[in-house]
């Protein structure tokens, strides 16, 4: 695993905007960054990332059955009690799921360590599945990469296959919050893939969801029988229309049972069941006691590094502010992100259905990866 400086493609920003990548820059700072790329060997991808991703995914699914049948675990995950039966039913009725992303600390040697599961509303999808693949093809054509360079990236193909195989109600709606350009870009990308798979798609702003007689409806009052919502389940369960979720016949992607896997509490539950697994870190529900040799404190409901507290082995404390301070916390042993040229590097590993589907790289000047952290492409060279 290497970080290699690279010449950006001429005019890439104009191209990005022409294909809908309107969030390549945040507040004047680069989000998409092709001044460098990461290089892996095939063995690093296949043995250290792809295989563990699929194994950990299956371990997480096996844990869902334990959780839905254990009230104590549902309480530990802070799932509102009035939704327990709905969560249980969504699992027992085998409501299908689409995708997710695991985040790893990995430096090219030794087992990758799972930091968290993003299994409800993972983003960085468009830039992984499409834009970094186009970068690879362009840079190969320009002679900027070693001939024969490849990429671990079947994300778009597997998403299209999944949409073609899922039995989805028609029309199928896609929704995101109005003010998020990044969320809209992700949803547009998924809609485009679904359309190519033959799905009749419609977009709806999340704020435009309605309720008639206990059913979710669109602006025209038509029932929404199927909905992909890029909006966290823990927020959905607090909305004014949350009681409608108990009566609605809507098929959701992601299904309600995914709220168990996107919860940081899944990390101590995984450790309890699979203690000592080489890809897992010791993790516990927070009781105020410190772990040895460094730890990270995370809210049960937290995204993009918000409200994270990190204490390294020397006792140095690093905190990231945020809005997620109204739930319980977990503590996880610290697996420091590797540093390449003073950049802290995080690997996201994608799952579509039950298969590993590619990776994305985020880097930051801080050990805590945030929504503003840079996205860099990668290649495989043997």
Question: pLDDT for 248-303, tens place per residue?
Answer: 999 999 999 999 999 999 999 999 999 999 999 999 998 766 566 789 999 998 77
In the block, residue with structure tokens 């990469």: 145
Residue 302: what pLDDT?
76
Question: Residue 201 corresponds to which tokens in the numbers above?
Answer: 């798609």
* Residue 70: CB atoms within 10 Å: 12
What 8-state DSSP symbol labels residue 8? P
- Helices 51-68 and 266-273: angle between axes, nearest 10 degrees: 100
d(CA 34, CA 30): 10
State how many domains the chain has: 1
Q: Domain range spanning residue 120?
A: 2-8+34-263+338-380
In a domain, 282, yes or no: no
In a domain, 325, yes or no: no
Which among 143, 100, 139 is positioned nearest to 377, based on CA atoms? 139
Low-confidence ranges of the chain (pLDDT < 70): 288-292, 305, 323-324
**Using alpha carbons only, how large is the chain's radius of gyration in Å?**
21
Confidence at residue 290, expressed as pLDDT on a 0 to 100 scale: 58
* Cα 320 versus chain centre, distance: 19
C-beta of residue 378 within 8 angstroms of C-beta of residue 49: no
Q: Quick check: is 313 in a domain?
A: no
Does residue 163 lie within any of the structural domains?
Answer: yes
Strands (E), 86-197: 99-105, 113-118, 172-176
Q: Domain for residue 303, yes or no?
A: no
Q: Is 18 among the domain residues?
A: no
Cα separations in angstroms, 308 against 100, 236, 329? 21, 23, 10
Output DSSP code: residue 153. B
CA dihedral 263, 268, 272, 274 (to 10 degrees): 80
State the Cα torsion 25-159-217-246 to the nearest 10°: -110
Q: Which residue reads 């950049």 in tokens?
A: 343
Per-residue tokens: 177? 């919050």
Q: Can you tell me the distance from the alpha carbon of 169 to that of 251, in angstroms, rounded to the nearest whole number? A: 8
């Amino acid at each position: 695993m290497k970080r290699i400086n690279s010449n950006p493609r001429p005019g890439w920003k104009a191209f990005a905007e022409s294909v809908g990548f309107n969030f390549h820059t945040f507040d004047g700072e680069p989000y998409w960054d092709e001044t460098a790329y990461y290089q892996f060997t095939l063995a690093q991808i296949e043995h250290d990332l792809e295989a563990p991703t699929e194994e950990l995914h299956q371990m997480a699914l096996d844990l869902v059955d334990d959780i839905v049948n254990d009230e104590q675990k549902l309480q530990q995950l802070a799932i509102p009690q009035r939704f327990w039966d709905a969560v249980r039913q969504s699992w027992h009725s085998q409501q299908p799921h689409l995708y997710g992303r695991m985040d790893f600390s990995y430096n090219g040697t030794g087992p990758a360590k799972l930091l968290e599961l993003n299994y409800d509303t993972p983003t960085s999808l468009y830039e992984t599945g499409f834009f970094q693949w186009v970068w690879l093809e362009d840079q190969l054509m320009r002679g900027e990469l070693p001939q024969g360079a490849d990429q671990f990236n079947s994300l778009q193909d597997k998403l299209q296959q999944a949409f073609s195989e899922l039995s989805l109600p028609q029309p199928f709606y896609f929704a995101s919050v109005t003010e998020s350009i990044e969320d809209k870009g992700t949803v547009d990308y998924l809609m485009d893939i679904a359309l190519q798979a033959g799905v009749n798609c419609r977009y709806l702003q999340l704020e435009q969801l309605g309720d008639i007689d206990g059913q979710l409806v669109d602006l025209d009052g038509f029932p929404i029988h199927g909905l992909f919502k890029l909006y966290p389940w823990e927020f959905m369960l607090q909305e004014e229309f949350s009681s409608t979720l108990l009566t609605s016949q809507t098929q959701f992607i992601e299904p309600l049972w995914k709220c168990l896997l996107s919860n940081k509490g899944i990390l101590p539950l995984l450790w309890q069941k699979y203690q000592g697994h080489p890809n897992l870190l010791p993790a516990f529900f927070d009781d105020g006691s410190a772990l040895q040799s460094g730890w990270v404190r995370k809210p049960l409901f937290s995204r993009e590094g918000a409200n994270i507290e990190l204490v390294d082995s020397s006792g140095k404390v690093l905190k990231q502010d945020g809005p997620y301070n109204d739930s319980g916390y977990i503590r996880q042993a610290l697996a420091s992100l590797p540093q390449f040229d003073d950049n802290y590097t995080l690997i996201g590993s994608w799952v579509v259905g039950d298969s590993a589907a590619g990776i994305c790289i985020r880097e930051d000047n801080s050990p805590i990866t945030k929504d503003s952290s840079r996205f860099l492409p990668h290649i495989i060279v043997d």
